Amino acid sequence: MNKIFDGKRYWLLDGAMGTMLQKSGLKLGERPDLLSITHPDVVERINRAYVEAGSDLICANTFGSNAKKLAGCGYTVEEVVAAGIGTAKRAAAGTAARVMLDVGPIGELLEPAGVLKFEEAYEIYKEVVLAGWRAGADLVKFATMTDLYEIKAAVLAAKENTPLPVLVSMTFEENGRAFTGCTVESFAITAEGLGVDGVGINCSLGPAEIYPMAQRLCAATSLPVFIKPNAGLPDPATGRYSIGPKEFCDELERFKALGISAVGGCCGTTPEYLALLAKTFKQDTPVHREPVRRSAVCTPTRTVEIDTVRVIGERINPTGKKRFKEALRDGDMDYILSQAVEQAGAGADILDVNVGLPEIDEQEMMIRAVKAVQSVCDLPLQLDSTRADVLEAGLRVYNGKPIVNSVNGEPETLEKILPLCKKYGAAVVGLALDKGGIPPTAEGRFAIAQRIVAAANAAGIPNEDIYIDCLTLTASAQQEGAVQTLEALSRCKRELGVRTVLGVSNISFGLPCRGTFLTLAMQAGLDLAIMNPNTPEMMAAVRAYRVLTSQDLQSTDYVAAYADVQIQTTQTSKSAATVAEVGAAAPGGDA
């Protein structure tokens, strides 16, 4: 059962604090949070009014109580937060209402958009949540967030330093993206992976504008969803908001069908709004929501759903690459970034990042590489290392939901890495090998895959986040290995209900059978192909397969990739036509 919402009834949040304080005399430029110290009776009266209106969860007056925003005010974070929690607790005394430590954005952009480092943001939030916990807050709510990276720093600070339940709410613009470009889906996927107890949308817009985003949020997560819209928009001249209590409640009523768990109000709403919401919602039982469980990874601005064959670019890896090794030794980030940009342009969906080299600090290089690649490329990453400390370093600073490559059938490896994947909300690749090496038969590899899936499930990682690699062996050395790989892959997909991944380039070293093997693997159920996207015949095989299996409807992606490619026709060696003119013909290779 969820720590906060039980699913048996709608929970009522509170309404605005800031606009209520303005009505009570807060002057422009004054810090609202300080009123909990200088005028506690005013703040307590607002908190109590919401409790009396029916609110189950009320926010303390602590939205801006962080070190950055309180700088120079004469009070410490501890003092201001304690005062805010104290007034809310007094207002809720004798009732069942719970008090939320309300925490807003720091007020500075995190890198790479700004100069605030992720680690600095974490420390700022740590100070706030610790103060709230000590003061007696019942839960933490991060609200009006606009940056997914800041959300990660905030959630980690709360979960690593307090036992309090955590809610997170983002604010979106009318285009369906946050100020930093974050999508609703990326927010949902990342927040759920980090283990929060509920996600929501608040502020900026009224109920009508938020509704389509709430639809998307409810479809993208299995978590409880809460909604706190503004009372429309304020009149520039009078400051009055455009939607009254009845219209606000009427518009929010249709949110019930989406399967939300809680409602409240943001800017412009008052206890009168909340009293009407209580009448509208508290008599009903929430609609049961059964979101589709999807395999997906993301960055803030892009979600890649594994609903078709996807390509993982393999070029950010020093294995067999002299130039890449030199770049790692020299700390040449420009070269690494050029590989990222080039693969993205060639059609990769995800990028593998492996910076393992004995003579460098791999942990520090993984941090640098992840941050650098994410600053120039919006593709999700697969963090690739044999070391748990390196993987955790990358996971901690990654913005979004990545894949971890990898674990294997060894208990020691599973025990070290699976908890990291669970904590940071990452998908995981499981290699079908153990101390005995790679089993020669499909049966042997399938047995190891079963162990990995069972261990991952026990660690709280669902099947949609598990990718089994049945391992590609070089055909010239172990010809029978290809058949065993494909059989094991097919069984894993069919019988275990997980996704599959293969380093398809390993089938040969420059020999022309790679495209054929890739096609066979896709037919057997391959989901993620680790390969060089700069190889035309390999990408042609993937794109053609997507078309022929109706994964690329109307051949949209295929035509986009090849519309300008000139190909030879059978009529004359000198004539040429575009793909569109010859019915989306492949440009060659094994496709």
User: Is 401's pLDDT higher than 50?
Assistant: yes
Residue 144 and residue 102 in contact, taking contact as beta carbons nearer than 8 Å: no
* Distance of alpha carbon 569 from alpha carbon 42, whole angstroms: 81
Give residue-wise pLDDT tens across range 5-27. 988 999 999 999 999 999 888 88
User: Is 581's pLDDT higher than 50?
Assistant: no
Give residue-wise pLDDT tens across range 200-223. 999 999 999 999 999 999 999 999
Name which of 190, 108, 181, 189 is nearest 156 in CA terms: 190
Which of 263-277, 400-414, 540-554 has the weakest average pLDDT?
Answer: 540-554
pLDDT value, residue 511: 58
Q: Any idea what DSSP says for residue 332?
A: -
Over residues 501-522, the mean pLDDT reads: 81
57's enclosing H/E stretch is strand 57-59
* Distance of alpha carbon 379 from alpha carbon 186, whole angstroms: 12
Token pair belonging to 92: 């809720």
pLDDT value, residue 564: 80
- 494-529 burial, b for 16+ CB within 10 Å, e for fewer? eebebbbbbbbbbbbeeeeebbbbbbbbbebbbbbb
* Percentage of residues of the chain with pLDDT beyond 70: 93
Beta-ladder partners of 99:
58
Give residue-wise pLDDT tens across range 448-489. 999 999 999 999 999 999 999 999 887 655 667 789 999 999
* Distance of alpha carbon 451 from alpha carbon 446, whole angstroms: 9
pLDDT value, residue 477: 57
Q: Any idea what DSSP says for residue 499?
A: E
pLDDT confidence of 127, banded at 50, 70, 90?
very high
Average pLDDT of the chain is 92
pLDDT value, residue 320: 87
pLDDT confidence of 573, banded at 50, 70, 90?
very low
567's enclosing H/E stretch is strand 567-568
Please list, in sequence order, all residues whose beta carbon lies within 8 angstroms of the beta carbon of residue 466, skipping any fewer than 6 positions away.
427, 428, 430, 452, 453, 456, 498, 499
Residue 99 and residue 77 in contact, taking contact as beta carbons nearer than 8 Å: no
Residue 58 backbone phi and psi in degrees, to 5:
-115, 145
* Distance of alpha carbon 171 from alpha carbon 377, whole angstroms: 24
pLDDT value, residue 26: 85
Render 114-125 in DSSP notation, one character per residue: SSB-HHHHHHHH
* Distance of alpha carbon 578 from alpha carbon 583, whole angstroms: 9
CA quadruple 232, 236, 237, 240: dihedral, nearest 10: 20
* Distance of alpha carbon 316 from alpha carbon 180, whole angstroms: 27
* Distance of alpha carbon 353 from alpha carbon 340, whole angstroms: 9
How far from each other are the two terminal CA atoms of the chain, in whole angstroms? 49
Q: Which residue has the tokens 């690739």?
A: 384
For 168, 250, 522, the CA distances from 208, given in Å and listed in that order, are 21, 10, 43
Over residues 402-428, the mean pLDDT reads: 98
* Distance of alpha carbon 380 from alpha carbon 310, whole angstroms: 12
* Distance of alpha carbon 385 from alpha carbon 516, whole angstroms: 29
Please tell me whether residue 112 adopts helix, strand or coil conformation: coil
